[in-house]
Chain A
């Protein structure tokens, strides 16, 4: 199957700092990528849809100024958590769509904000 990578896999930061997470499709081009967040023992929740060359589409309740998304190329999307706070601590996962509408997920980034 298609391979999606994420970097970093784990990050610990102080409250108030910004954290950038990269999502890359390694062996295919992804016009659309998605960003999810998963809290412990909860289901994945879609945060935003990232479209190459245009603005991201955010889900209701997700602050676009706090979660900055840039989809600069067909293989790279970045999520920046600005001024992170402890409540932003979560498992952030990206995905990219295959040709049959299935989504391939990156390995996730575990963010801990102290």
Chain B
């Protein structure tokens, strides 16, 4: 079983749609969680951290369920510029200098005009 699993997609949605991505992780000792965005042939860029209480940043909402080891990302009112690969990322280290990020394979989102 992969440490971080995501549906690879692609998700093809029209502009303005709401789309949700899911992710599961296997290490129950994981400490912190992130969503990154990666455009084609570019480096990953941090989209948002994911907190236990859930958090929102504009059109983006992230949720974490530690009991189920499940993370989600909701994008409302999709824009063409949201087209990218969304990476679910889990930090399995205890923090500080022993950070170790495990990346999911990513979910490809294509927003259609």
In chain B, positions 18-34 with a C-beta closer than 8 Å to chain A are 31-32, 34
Q: How many residues of B contact A (CB 8 A)?
A: 24
Q: In the complex the two chains form, is A51's CB within 8 Å of B49's CB?
A: no
Query: In the complex the two chains form, what is the Cα distance from A89 to B42 in whole Å?
Result: 16
From B43, B49, B96, B103, give the contact of A43 (CB < 8 A): B103
B67: interface (CB < 8 Å): no
Q: List 18 other contacts, CB 8 Å, given A103-B46, A105-B45.
A: A31-B97, A34-B99, A43-B87, A43-B104, A44-B44, A44-B87, A44-B103, A45-B103, A49-B98, A49-B100, A51-B97, A93-B43, A100-B49, A101-B31, A101-B99, A103-B101, A104-B46, A106-B43
Instruction: Tell me what chain B mostly uses at the interface: helix, strand, loop, or mixed.
Output: mixed
Q: In the complex the two chains form, is A1's CB within 8 Å of B43's CB?
A: no
Which B residues lie at the A interface, using CB under 8 A? 31-32, 34, 41-46, 49, 87, 91, 95-106
Asked, given contacts A101-B32, A103-B99, whether A43 binds B105 with beta carbons under 8 Å apart, the answer is yes
Q: What are the 7 A-B residue pairs with the smallest beta carbon separation, nearest first?
A: A105-B43, A43-B105, A43-B103, A44-B103, A108-B43, A32-B97, A107-B43
Q: In the complex the two chains form, is A107's CB within 8 Å of B44's CB?
A: no
In the complex, per-residue mask of A23-50: 1 if CB is within 8 Å of any chain B CB, else 0:
0000000011010000000111110010
Q: How many residues of A contact B (CB 8 A)?
A: 25
Query: In the complex the two chains form, what is the Cα distance from A106 to B96 in whole Å?
Result: 20
